[in-house]
Structure 1
Amino acid sequence: MDELSMTVYPQDTTAAAVVLLNVGETRFSYSEQVGFQFEYTLQVKIKILKNEGLELCNRSISFYQETSTTGEKISGLSGTTYNLEDGKIIKTKLSKDVIFEENTDKKWKLKKFTMPAAKVGSVVEFKYTLTSKYFFDLRDFVFQTWVPVAYTSYEITLPEYFYYNVNMQGYERIDAKRKSVNETFQISYKDDSGRLQIDNVRCSAEEITFVGENLPAIKNEPYLWALNDYITKVSFELQSIRYPWTTIKNITTTWADIDKELFSSSEFGGNTKKTGLFKDEITKSNLTLQEAKIIQDLVKSKVKWNDKIAFSPNNLKDALKDGLGNSADMNFLLINALKTGGFDAFPVVLSTRENGRLPLSHPSLNALNYTITGLKIDTLMYYTDASAKFGDWNILPQRCMVTQARIMNENKVDWVDLSTFSSGASLISVQMKLDNTGLVMIVSDFRRGNSAYDFKVNFSNYKDKDEYIEKLASKLNGKIEDFKITGESKAGGDVKSEYTLIKDATLGDEFIYITPMVDLLFLDNPFKKEERKFPVNLDYLENYKQLVNITIPEGYVVEELPTSQKYVFGEDDDAITFMYRIVQNESTIALQYQFHTKQLMIGQDLYPALRDLFAKIVLKNSEQIVLKKNIAIK
């Protein structure tokens, strides 16, 4: 009754919901059919406080099935929604008609369900057990979510036969207690004469209990690649199996083991060996980057991306025939085409920024979710994502610009940092004058690298050029004439746009106020919170410049001019450089503005200084030049 009567969570009055209970347990059991397996049970109870909290009533459970009869299974799924009506508690049970399964790929499935009769004020509760023979891949237990958690606990009992590394992650306090207990399993086996024997085997075990209370909601923040990298959770890595009737079996997977598994698989390694899909269109020629670009353009002209990301391709012939494929289809087709042309091309595997960083301490094939194309010409390396419409060699979409990717070249497997392989550059040049039509600005906007890529993606989201011009005029608070653009629809390459921007201003007024910055790089400070727990991850290395030349109208003098300023930020004083240099030369004013980033990762210990820097930049962007009519001139 107290839970149903709750209208706000005292520890977080803004919360859309609160997880009242998040309790998990993992125990090992023995089955004659499959041997040892684990049973993971989860019980969750949630109070819905606002409409946004109803999201938590739609759940999905991921599980693995090798065939229709083997693999993981989910049992005991039950749930209840509690509502308070006329002072009485009304219960609505979770029924089978709102539970269904969905395939996510060939072997992974989702069991989905929606809590019935849920509304603001409801308390919902559900429970299920997942049984799995894949004890080398125990489920992580996540203590934290996007709403606050009042109480959470997780208990796992590990028999002495299985030795795991226990890995904690996150910033919130979780208390852990360990104690020794005994476990008994009924084991069946055949003796030396082949007769079936059944024994009750008693062994020691370690019981670990994790408890957390009043955990705050974890929420995304500006310039954070993957929130999942910082969420509070515990994971387990199987190191070895030590059955008393056999020798110790070391299980720890290395990246070399994963390499071998990938190269030997038909879905991944098999598709790197396929050739001939482009034999009628590509012949071996000069092994130059320009030729590789021509081949990439050919692949993109034949197959379009279906907006689905994948690690391994489905069927390359089907993708080529249908003209549509996922990200892996696109990249493996490009590798095939490049090899036909005689190039040394190979897959590069990674975990996208959104998916989170790779767990290098305990290598995992499941952590990889994306494949791009690598190319070696002489001693130089190049990388591209064939599914990125406007991408090119060493011009990658941000999802692929990660610190650790693995080059899967059978001649040499190696790690590569893709986070800084491509960078962006922008140069906006402005000639500004005041006449009878208003404040007239002749603008030239040049973009290169990732800045050009982002511009093209943004431009392609408009239905046509006219709509883009309309939105740009609204953003710049003026009227745009004589708009011209080149390179906006081409994969790779620079983008240049030119236009005249006219803003309202009256020549003849005693005072004229001019904001010299045409394009405000930052409209407001992205770092509004006073404190931040997580590091700052900038999008990519960028060098942004704006050069403005202002002609002072005849009969006016400068009454007020912004001051020049330079800020240098970072532990080594070179992570971010900001320069605002303004100079008056008789009848003209020249502004040189630069924002230059040389480092992507900025620790949370530097956050207060970073927040202060951006506050100064935003303030500087809005400063005005004041011109005054010169009354001495008649």
Structure 2
Amino acid sequence: MKKTLTIVAVFLLLATLYSNAQSKYGDVTIDELDMAVYPQDTTAAALILLKEGNLDFIYDDEAGFQYQYTLKMKIKILKNEGLGWCDQEIPYYEADRLNKERITHLSGTTYNADNRKIIKTKLSKEFIFDESINEKNKLKKFTLSGAKVGSVIEFKYTIVSDYYYDLREFYFQSSIPTQQVSFEVITPEYLYYNLNMQGYEKIDATTTMVNANYNIRYKDDNGRMQSTMHTCNAKKTVFRGNNIKALKNESYVWTLGDYISKVTFELSNTKFPNSMTKSYTTTWANVDKDILDAGVFGGNLKKTGLFKNDISTKEINIENAKEILNMIKYKVKWNEKNAFYPSDLGDVLKKGLGNSADMNFLLINALKSGGFDAYPVVLSTRSNGRLPVTHPSISALNYTIVGVKIDTMMYYTDASAKFGDWNLLPQKCMVPQARALLQQGGDWVDLSTVSIGMMAITNDYKFEGGEYKGRISITRRGNDALSFRDHYADYKDNNEYLEKLAGQLACEVVDFEISGADNAAGDVKEIFIVKPDVTLGDEFLYINPFLIKHFSENPFKDENRTVPVNFNYLQNYRQIVNIMIPEGYAVEETIQSEKILLDENESMVLTCRVGQTQNSIQMNYQFQLKSLQFLQTDYELLRNFFAKIVLKNSEQIVLKKIS
């Protein structure tokens, strides 16, 4: 006991020392090189000892105001997995000669200890190179060489940007813990920004007014260049944080980016000397208009002539809308690229290949050609993050799907989803806020619950000739069917899938049949026979009625949770089990009937009803998920609820031989 207390005391002491230590850039200590573990997170592969950011403004004679962003980072490598931090990349943008970003003062050092002596390895030019993502988006990549477990690496750089209306966001949090972080922003009185904070880590912020000096060069009356120092008021904001926890990937999260601690900037207005105030604040109605006014977007909603020989006006109903959807999928295949804006729709039709926007814009035009009230729906996919509802922005949108109004009903689809259908969207599109660009004006729509998943399993077990057999029938509908079809398409054939299924069930599977797996609508049905390892004749027969387990382990293993829980879609899951009791046996022990509620709102319900006759046992198991999001404060409830699900799925029925 004394030894345990001593170890705990040492860790607490180390944690206090590390948290109080002030790391400095360019000054690596032996203590930092000797560190073998970060006491506050012993699982960390690396530790950000120091992260310092500075953002201020300079004045350029041609470009006017530019912002310069300087980043300094100091990282301790604790495990082999942490060596990935030696490879860094800096995204930057070059529109043309007058509108660009450039990276300056890039340098770095790797520090190692050799017999208590600090060895430095400078960042070499041979490990710095540029890469073009496309014509305008670039990457500056570099690698800090000579690093190993135990090393400390440092790097710094400055970005000078013409885009003062689009400042870089600053992340206080990362996938590894951060011991010390600070960010200083100085903005002149001519530029006013709204600062938006997100995340759950404690970040202190202080704001003061200071003087800012800008060197302005100009030509005098004689054509000679002159310079003057201009002084104005400026706002200085300093953010500081210590011992920031790593933001780790957890189950049931749409995107971690929605919860990472960071600060972003929105240009509200400008007021330059001798000029009127110019407002940059906008509304979603203005964003809607700007999108539709753009020729590449609004102009491509008027191409109904592409289908003048393909579509005749028919009755406006969902069956005919499905027919047109299937026609587009037949004519054009998805190239597996996501897009917000379409390309040349006529060219896409000729080639028979297009991105997601191409296919959805073609569908809108085809529907209009058939007399339907079709319209685009723009959104930010789940992985792209939530829309900033209170801060309208076109740049936050990254995807377009199709909406259609039939009578009083609204239907939505993504034409690029191979197995999608009307009101059956891929999960990436099932977001709570999307903008429907209707003729009478844009409107918010909730796509997160346009459809649900349904899975029904019927199990019939009995002994035949001393052998225990079961006939299992599985029906999937809605999102469960869509997910299964995408999964099943990855298998080469039925035999490969059957081999995987037998491995999951840990028993022989025969007489397998499947239907509906290749369709874009309707149910998917599987029927097969299983032969579990239960031997008739033993004194006790142990039977697990859940050969197909709803949950075999708790997806919420951690004791605490830092981010909300987001389930994929609403679901109704049901298993019916019928077990024939063999002659000469009686029920010794059975599963108990019970109903478990997650909360008083019944947002999650588990019901298990068990009945028995002289010759059989019947069980009806049902799980209903009625809400998609749960806050961190609900985590303990969720964890306990799923622990009960796992326990229920592990229970057995015991049959005893009658004397």
Structure 2 equivalent of residue 280 of structure 1: 309
Aligned in 2, Cα 1:283/1:197: closer, same or farther, shift over 3 Å?
farther
When structure 1 is superposed on structure 2, of 616-625 and 348-357 the one drifting more is: 348-357
Cα distance change, pair 537–298 in 1 and its aligned pair in 2 (3 A): same
Other-structure match for 2:84: 55
C-alpha separation in 1, matches of 2:306 and 2:137: 29
Q: Deviations over 1:133-186 (max 9, x none)?
A: 222211111010000111110000111122222221111111112222101223
Is contact 2:285-2:441 (8 Å) kept?
no
2:475·2:524 contact (CA, 8 Å) conserved in 1? yes
Counterparts of 1:541-620 in structure 2 under 5 Å? 541-570=570-599, 572-620=600-648
**2:114, 2:147 → 1: CA distance?**
13
1:412-491 equivalence runs, <5 A: 412-436=441-465, 438-491=467-520
1:512 aligned onto 2:515:
no
Kept after mapping to 1: 8 A contact 2:63/2:98: no
Q: Determine what percentage of the aligned residue pairs are the same residue.
A: 55
Cα distance 1:194–1:300, how it changes in 2: closer, same or farther (>3 A)? farther
- 2:269 aligns with 240
Specify the alignment match of 2:529 in structure 1: 500
In the alignment, is residue 122 of structure 1 matched against residue 168 of structure 2? no
Change in 2 beyond 3 A, CA 1:379/1:434? same
Cα distance in 2, alignment partners of residues 113 and 285 from structure 1: 60
Deviation at 1:68, TM superposition (A): 5.6
Letter of the 2:640 partner, please give it: D
> Which letter does structure 1 place at the counterpart of 2:149?
V
- The alpha carbon displacement at 1:472 in A equals 0.8
Q: Who is 2:657 aligned against?
A: 629
Residue 86 of structure 1: CA displacement? 6.2
Q: Which runs of 5+ in 2 are unaligned?
A: 1-29
Distance in 1 (alpha carbons) for counterparts of 2:125 and 2:395: 31
Partners of 1:268 and 1:191 lie apart in 2 by 47
Give the counterpart letter for 2:487 in structure 1: N
Residues 1:274 and 1:55: Cα distance change in structure 2 (over 3 Å): farther
- CA deviations on 1:355-395 (whole Å, 9 max, x unpaired) are 11111121122211111121222222111112211111111
Distance 2:46 2:391 in 1: 34
Q: Matched residue of 2:306: which SS?
A: coil
- What's the CA shift for 1:192? 13
Residue 348 in structure 1 maps to residue 377 in structure 2: yes
Paired residue for 1:208?
237
Which residues in structure 2 correspond to 1:125-274 (within 5 Å)?
125-187=154-216, 199-274=228-303
1:110 aligns with 2:110: no
Give the length in aligned residue pairs.
630
Q: Within 5 Å, which residues of 2 pair with 1:18-37? A: 18-37=47-66
Residue 342 to residue 564, structure 1, CA distance change in 2 (3 Å): same
CA gap 1:108/1:285 in 2 versus in 1, 3 angstroms = farther
Q: Which amino acid is 2:396 matched to?
A: A
Distance in 2 between the 1:540 and 1:585 partners? 37
Name which of 385, 389, 406 aligns with 2:418.
389
Q: TM-score, normalised by structure 1?
A: 0.94
Tell me the distance in 2 between the aligned counterparts of 1:82 and 1:583: 70
Distance 1:340 1:72, change over 3 A: farther
- Contact kept, 8 Å, 1:436 with 1:506, in 2: the verdict is no
* Residue aligned with 1:354, SS: helix
AA aligned to 2:614 is: E
Residue 318 of structure 2 is matched in structure 1 by: 289
In structure 2, the CA distance between the partners of 1:106 and 1:284, relative to structure 1 (3 Å rule), is farther
- CA pair 364-495 structure 1, distance change in 2 beyond 3 A: same
Q: Which among 396, 399, 405 is matched to residue 376 of structure 1?
A: 405
- Who is 1:337 aligned against? 366
Q: How does 1:305-324 map to 2 (within 5 A)?
A: 305-324=334-353
The secondary structure found in structure 2 opposite 1:455 is helix
What is the Cα-based RMSD across aligned positions, in Å?
2.2
1:326 is displaced (CA, Å) by 2.4
Write out per-residue CA displacement over residues 557-586 of structure 1, whole angstroms, 9 at most, x where no aligned residue. 10001110101123x432001001111122
* CA deviation after TM superposition for structure 1 residue 85, in Å: 5.0
Determine the C-alpha separation between the residues in 2 that align with 1:433 and 1:120: 59
CA shift, 1:118, in A, is 3.4
Task: State the distance in 1 between where 2:32 and 2:619 align.
Answer: 61
For the 8 Å contact 2:92–2:102, the answer to whether it is kept is yes
CA distance in 2, matches of 1:521, 1:537: 19
Is the 1:436–1:507 contact (alpha carbons within 8 Å) kept by the matching residues of 2? no
Which letter maps to 2:646? V
CA-to-partner distance for each residue in 1:409-433, whole Å, 9 max, x for gaps? Answer: 3433111010011111111111111
> Take 1:378 and 1:106, find their aligned partners in 2: how far apart are those partners?
46
Name the CA shift for 1:190/1:415 in 2 (closer, same or farther; >3 Å): farther
Q: CA deviation at 1:37?
A: 1.5
What is the Cα deviation at residue 3 of structure 1?
A: 2.6
How many angstroms apart in 2 are the aligned matches of 1:575 and 1:194?
75
Instruction: Tell me which residue corresponds to 2:395.
Output: 366
Q: Distance in 2 between matches of 1:316 and 1:115?
A: 46
The aligned counterpart of 2:356 is 327
Q: Between 601-610 and 80-89, report the one with greater CA deviation.
A: 80-89
Q: Which region of structure 1 is more displaced relative to structure 2, 301-310 or 409-418?
A: 301-310
**Cα offset for 1:257?**
2.4
Partner of 1:39: 68
Q: Is the Cα contact below 8 Å between 2:99 and 2:162 reproduced in 1?
A: no
Secondary structure of the structure 2 residue equivalent to 1:444: strand
Q: Which amino acid aligns with 1:629?
A: K
- AA in 2 matched with 1:80: T
Q: CA deviation at 1:69?
A: 5.4
Task: Indicate how the Cα distance of structure 1 residues 54 and 340 shifts in structure 2: closer, same or farther if over 3 A, else same.
Answer: farther
Structure 1 residue 595, shift from structure 2 partner: 0.4
The 8 Å contact of residues 452 and 495 in structure 1, kept in 2 or not, is answered as yes
Q: CA deviation at 1:88?
A: 4.8
Give the counterpart letter for 1:351 in structure 2. Answer: S
Unaligned runs of 5+ in 1: none
Q: Equivalents in 2 of 1:195, 1:252: separation in Å?
A: 40
Instruction: Confirm whether residue 298 of structure 1 aligns to residue 335 of structure 2.
Output: no
